[in-house]
Structure 1
Amino acid sequence: MSVKLGVIGGGVMGTAIVSRLIDRGTYQNTDILISEPSLQQQQALHHQYGVQVTGDNNLAATAQVLLLAIKPQIFDRVIADLTRLERPTQLIISILAGVSIAQLERAFPDRAVIRAMPNTPATVGMGIAAISTGTSVQPQQLDLATQIFQAVGEVVTVTESLMDAVTGLSGSGPAYIAIAIEALADGGVAAGLPRPIADRLALQTVLGTAALLKETNLHPAILKDRVTSPGGTTIAGIAKLEQAGFRSAIIQAVIAAAQRSRELGQ
């Protein structure tokens, strides 16, 4: 059995990465082995993606690159069950929140280790992942990890000390934006719009604004000023946002999530 990419965990994020890697041709489906305890999920993964599947984590652990995509709560148990194989050229990539590089290097003492934090827009190829490297990662291994996560969006490299901040911003951020979109739509309904139209207007407004900022590289404050006329409707709305502490609430949400990430990692 030839395995270039082994994945332990057939959940949403692991399969999102696998599906995009196959679509982009980074790996052939026959090069990938996913270890997943659920027989039903194994069958679904094999049927949908044509990948090799197994219920034995040790088979996935023989791959050239091993992606850990399990819940962090079961990390110790999964690692304890792995057979200790001599694989000094193997690259370990973990997307487990709160599991440090030090923990990963203790579990895989002879391997190169990379810790990554992708976010849920990765499932549609619009995510962003932050990656941190362990002590023995070679440049070509960092390039490979970058290529893997570019399949599901953009990639930034950060020191591990910033991973909790990444978690608070981009990891948890989709939930904040979802609330903002929901609130925009609710505001539209409160102002008299039918719900389907309000939902569509809110979603496309956020999507279009993000695309505009990215394409033009404008600072958000500049775009805000450009659509804010003296004595107009937008400044009236912004005044209410400031009165309600909207900006501060977003900042505090990121800080609180980052702090919670630090607590979970201890």
Structure 2
Amino acid sequence: MAPVNTLVITGYGTNSHLETAHTARLAGSDRADVVHFSDLISGECRLSDYNFLIFPGGFLDGDDLGAAQTAAMRWRSLSDAAGKPLLRSLEEFLDAGGLVLGICNGFQLLVKLGVLPALDGARFERQASLGHNDSARFEDRWVRLLPNPESPCVFTRGLSLLAMPVRHGEGKLVCRDEATLARLAAENLIALQYADPEGRPTQEYPWNPNGSPLAIAGLTDPTGHVLGLMPHPEAFHHVTNHPGWTRGELAPPGTLLFANAVRYLRAQEA
């Protein structure tokens, strides 16, 4: 079985990198390193040494110019010490079959980099973004999530209704046009949807905390190797994280998304 080596990128405003690495270890990752972005530039860290890459939540660059916009510009413009563009290293990582998870601020980065949704294989072409919540305020609450069983997403395979918290001010998916939004649904790239108490996709607030169309909480790409979601799975890695656990309100933890990724990577040839 192939080893699972997880890289969690930190720096410039991330704030849940330690919890994210911890959840990867709980899910069975052999290695889970928290590495500052600058180490990619210096060459002290190479994406090619890993097969699971995670962009955690936080407030990259204070959300200046829009959530994760400055970080996307950094990825697009910088090279490592050997002169190799970071974007090329990321492309090679994806082409080699690596898995990528973007959580909250990490999801915002993935869409602004064009890693998601990558329709027609147009990787690094921006086709969507994440805008301000319809409530015009920061939302910090627990939500229900409905996985799409038809999605190619590796992370959500075989999962049923999930629960985890959101904490964001810019979580509403915005597509470049209506045709793009329609294709996300038609091609099953909507991996996760906000659900009401009956487990049905919903536009109703507060169950859909940001007004995202088609109740979109998470997207995958056509390969199923990339998942971006606004809720925080790393914030629910133990039963006691759930606010209703003392009342017996049990729900599958967010760790299951990580576990699916680890299981998939282990099944690949070493």
Q: TM-score, normalization: structure 2?
A: 0.35
Query: Greater CA radius of gyration, 1 or 2?
Result: 1
Q: TM-score, normalization: structure 1?
A: 0.36
More strand by share: 2
